Structure 1
Amino acid sequence: MIAIVLCFRQCTGVTQISECSREQLVDTNQLSLNIQSILPQLKSLQNNQEIRIKSLQKSYREHEQIVIEQMRQMINSMLGKSEKEHEQEELSLKIHLVVADFEKSALKEITNEVTFVKDSIARSITKCTRLQNDLSQLHDSIQKIGDNKELCFIACMKCEQKLQQALTDLGKAGNVFTVKGKSAHTVKISNDSHLCTITACCALQDGRVLVLDESNKKVKLVDQQYQVVSQCDVTAYPLDMCLTTSNEVAVAVDNIIDTHEIQFIEVNQHQLQTGRKLQFQHKCICVAHNQGDLFICSYTALYKYSLGGKLVSRLFVDPSGCAVSPIGDKLYIVDHFKHKLLTLASDGTVLATLTDPGLRGPSCVHVTPAGQVLVCGHKSRTIVQVDSKNSRKLITLATAMDDVWNPFSVCYSSTSSSFIVGQWRNNTILVIKVE
């Protein structure tokens, strides 16, 4: 691939291309091998996305039934408290009206969300199919070109573009970030009792950011100027969160003793609204979501659940943080106590391990929409970018020299091209501009 780029820079026209030596042109055999390597991966991605659609539909159907059943139980409870017959009849009429409105609004909203995600996955499948067809045709053409240097060069350039598109779709073409600047912004508000500890951040599509303040047991909404504009309380310590839809997050809430919950919170215009809860017997210290699947870490295991709270599988032991690749084929697991970052296949098989002396006490892993992997080193006071495939450190993006003192969380905002760092016992978030 490097050879073709060098040749392209040296050549300014077809006449000059013909003067390039055979060694300067791309090895077509190697290009053919690259295509043959990519094609089954694209097919696997397509199959995986088709499975995701089925899983998503099943998960949301289950979610609908749970929400409806909860309302029915509430209604039955209300009816049971009414002793007089005429009161029951009046209450029953009101309840039927409430249920009718609910089914038209809440369930319709869920259905619309499923349709949106399903359409997005369907577009990805169509793109995969098109890329497979294009690469297959180019592969056949390369075999027939022979020694025609001009045709070889043109075909190779087209292959390069298609391969790059394929790598991007597979989440393997993420560029290394370059830091352009930084700024700090306070997230402490007047009724906070303690110094803010930001255990998690989530960037919304419009540039706003949700942050968890563990010390004050709050979820806070920060606008595009990084000012807190809304907040809501939670019942225990909010330890982690992830987006489940474009305007809803699942928050891992735990007090280590008897409260182990996932609390769903929605951003409704400029306000935060609490929704349903899932309660568990095990601890909930980390949560990640991918197309209808919830991945929840306790201190002893990684569990996979449906959005309705149904256990699907137990995947791994001893995790203290996790994130999922954009297409759901990889899980990234932080082992804080053993100072490791592990890359797992979707079935829990360990694919790669990163142990780096410059990354002591990893506290958080975050995957960008393009598949780039960011890791916080709490004890080493660093933010690093890691290769998504081989789990090797690519670059240290920020250190204590950049005011990173106790990093506990990081997320990337595509809207502002920056990543947001939350720190322990520090009233500010650090916004680092990158490109």
Structure 2
Amino acid sequence: MANFSQATIDKGSDIVQDFLCSTCEDKKLDTTADFYCESCVKFYCEICINMHSQLFTKHAPFGRGYMKKWPVAKKVEDFLLKCDVHTEENLTMFCDEHSELCCTNCALLNHRQCKRITLISDKVKSQSSHLQKLTVSIKKILKKMKKLQENKEACIDFVQSSYDEQLHTIQETRRKINATLDTIEQKTLTEMKDTLTKLQASFKSDVDKCIRLWEELKQLREAIQDLNDKSRLGLSFIANNKGEAKIKQSETFLKKSSLQVKVLIRFQPNSDIVQYLSKLPGLGRIDSTQTLMVQEHPNNVFTVQGKSVHNVRISSDSDE
């Protein structure tokens, strides 16, 4: 199997980048390979290929212009074969009833009652894969996922900005009140901070999921590109099913999170606070205003406004 350079492995998501010269690797050198000899089943750099050609005149190595003749990289093969649930097991079966790839543990634990479980090696004899179409679909999903990620990250910055602006309003209001309001002020700031934390946590969760799905789809796309035009039906079948499952998962997430949400934290001072200080629950009211922007077409945009209200109270307050 082909070996990867250490830089390739360290990048994590870039699972398909380069191959190492087999001869140089034996000498503990990381040299990029430029040729692959099918007879030797080895890779060679520009320097080592000269010696190889002198020793094996009848061998016909393939240069980078013919990388379709190069083997599937071991890291790509391992990535596709690995079961997502039982990471130590390889995918060897396919359940037609659930349209799921299975390892031995999956078949035993989740598909014991299924009657249509087939070995992948048998399944690929009667079913073809459409890797090129899958690559296009993954590319589209990656673009949407990246856009959604950027939107959620912008929401985090926006809500922080609105928080900073409204904090100034709170401080201006506080200067009109005497020192006895210290406890109420702290309660108000704490409530607003909690609101900020909850809102940011919600967006951060979406951002993290965007990043995870984006990385998984990117890895899958690169693995598929390495498989193109290579006679590895089993891997192609696995890649096809993994891709479709990941696309379905991503589309579900995109559909659920497609609305571009901007949440505004707002502090509304109570104009009667000085006169009715003893009866007031806090410095004012904190709420978050959501602006939902749905854009189906560049010339067709509509906006929906929504607002959630949070009452600020202290423990000594009683309901009237």
Determine which structure has more spread, i.e. the larger CA radius of gyration: 2
Alignment TM class, shorter chain as reference: 0.3 to 0.5
Q: TM-score, normalised by structure 2?
A: 0.45
Q: TM-score, normalised by structure 1?
A: 0.34
Structure with a larger share of its residues in strand: 1
Greater RCO, 1 or 2 (C-alpha within 8 Å, sep 6+): 2
Structure with a larger share of its residues in helix: 2
